[in-house]
């Protein structure tokens, strides 16, 4: 019997088959979960339905455990409500939600944070941070006791990571929201945590300059390597399952220990040897 046998959940934010949300979705469904999946709405006039097709491609191999696919614009409260109503109709109650949603206009992400526009700030914060509040609020009445909400963050919300820019500000807000929601939803026995993953080659990661970071992480991290898809699958499943039943309000770092380092560590030794 799988860890998620008879469990029902929502996965928000699969963009393609390399998305962190896709990796975690595959793991929980392979272990028995049945899930509703949301995706970016297709653009008007897009007869090929590119967003829908990308998500369907990402879910190959676990299609039988997908209860429904639905477009979701997290800036639209009516759309969020409709998705929750669909989930309630399909499942009755939810056992978990994975929130893997973030966005900033490239014009605001690619410039130093000081150059981010006011409208760009509002957009990025609304989608990347406030959406967790909106989703949790809409879902709270249809979640079982001992259920879990997990969102995705990154170390750039704790420390300045050049190039991460505006998204780092959004992640800082998201991590604070995680803690306050954990308190608010605690009496309903709903756990809220954040998974802070190291750099991986996702669509969002490439946009944030991940290629330049992988070598640095490998050199500095105590384990001397970058995280793998298996690491992501296992840790994401842990936070969404009853195995983490006593954990809430946490920012769990999945980065092979990179975040504990106060100096370049062995990377400095390699640099000294090369001189």
What pLDDT, in 10s, does the model give residues 50-90?
A: 999 999 999 999 999 999 999 999 999 999 999 999 999 99
Confidence (pLDDT) at 170 = 98
3-16 confidence digits (pLDDT tens): 999 999 999 999 88
Check residue 45 and give its pLDDT.
Answer: 84
Instruction: Please state, rounded to an integer, the average pLDDT across all residues of the chain.
Output: 93
pLDDT grade, residue 46 (50/70/90)? Answer: confident
Are 55 and 39 in contact by the 8 Å Cβ rule? The answer is yes
User: Which runs of consecutive H residues, i.e. helices, occur in the chain?
Assistant: 20-30, 50-58, 77-91, 106-109, 118-125, 131-139, 166-185, 203-207, 211-220, 229-240, 266-274
- Strand bridging mode 66-71 / 143-153: unpaired
Residue 254, token pair as written in the block: 């999945």
Predicted local distance difference test score (pLDDT) of residue 1: 67
List of domains in the chain: 8-274 (3.40.50.720)
* Residue among 154, 155, 217, 238 flagged as catalytic: 154
pLDDT at 200 (0 to 100): 83
Q: Using CA atoms, how far apart are residues 103 and 180, in angstroms rounded to an integer?
A: 22
**Catalytic residue among 164, 217, 238, 258, which?**
164
Higher pLDDT among residues 89 and 201, named by residue:
89
Q: Pick 119 or 215 by higher pLDDT.
A: 119
Is the pLDDT reported for residue 48 higher than 90? no
What is the arithmetic mean of pLDDT over 138-157?
Answer: 97
pTM of the predicted structure, to 2 decimals: 0.94
Answer yes or no: 154 catalytic.
yes
Report the b/e string of 131-168 with b at 16+ CB within 10 A. bbebbbbbbbebbbeebbbbbbbbbbbbeebeebbbbb
pLDDT of 202 reads 57
At 268 the pLDDT is 75
Instruction: Give the pLDDT score at 245.
Output: 97
Q: What pLDDT, on the 0 to 100 scale, is given for residue 18? A: 87
Is the Cβ–Cβ distance between 226 and 198 less than 8 Å? yes
CA 211 – CA 30 distance, rounded (Å): 30
Q: What band does 275 get if pLDDT is binned at 50, 70 and 90?
A: low
Q: Which of 26, 28, 38 has the alpha carbon at shortest distance from 8?
A: 28
Per-residue pLDDT at 258 = 97
The gap from C-alpha 155 to its chain's centroid, in whole angstroms, comes to 13
């Amino acid at each position: 019997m799988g860890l998620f046998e008879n469990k029902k959940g929502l996965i928000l934010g699969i963009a393609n088959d390399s998305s962190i949300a896709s990796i975690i979705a595959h793991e929980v469904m392979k272990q028995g979960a049945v899930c509703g999946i949301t995706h970016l709405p297709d653009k008007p006039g897009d007869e090929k339905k590119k967003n829908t097709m990308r998500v369907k491609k990402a879910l190959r191999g676990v299609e039988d455990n997908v209860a429904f696919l639905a477009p979701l614009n997290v800036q639209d409260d009516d759309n969020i409500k409709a998705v929750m109503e669909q989930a309630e109709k399909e499942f009755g109650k939810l056992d978990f939600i994975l929130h893997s949603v973030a966005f900033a206009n490239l014009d605001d992400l690619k410039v130093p944070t000081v150059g981010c526009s006011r409208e760009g700030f509002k957009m990025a914060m609304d989608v990347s941070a406030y959406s967790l509040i909106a989703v949790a609020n809409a879902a709270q009445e249809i979640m079982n006791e001992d259920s879990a909400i997990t969102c995705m963050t990154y170390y750039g919300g704790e420390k300045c990571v050049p190039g991460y820019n505006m998204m780092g500000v959004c992640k800082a807000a998201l991590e604070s929201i995680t803690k306050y929601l954990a308190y608010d939803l605690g009496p309903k026995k709903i756990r809220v945590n954040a998974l802070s993953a190291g750099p991986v080659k996702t669509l969002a990661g490439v946009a944030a300059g991940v290629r330049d970071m992988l070598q640095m992480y490998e050199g500095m991290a105590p384990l001397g390597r970058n995280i793998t898809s298996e690491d992501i699958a296992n840790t994401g499943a842990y936070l969404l399952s009853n195995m983490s039943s006593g954990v809430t309000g946490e920012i769990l770092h999945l980065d092979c220990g990179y975040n504990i380092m106060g100096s370049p560590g062995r990377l400095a030794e390699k640099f000294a040897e090369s001189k």
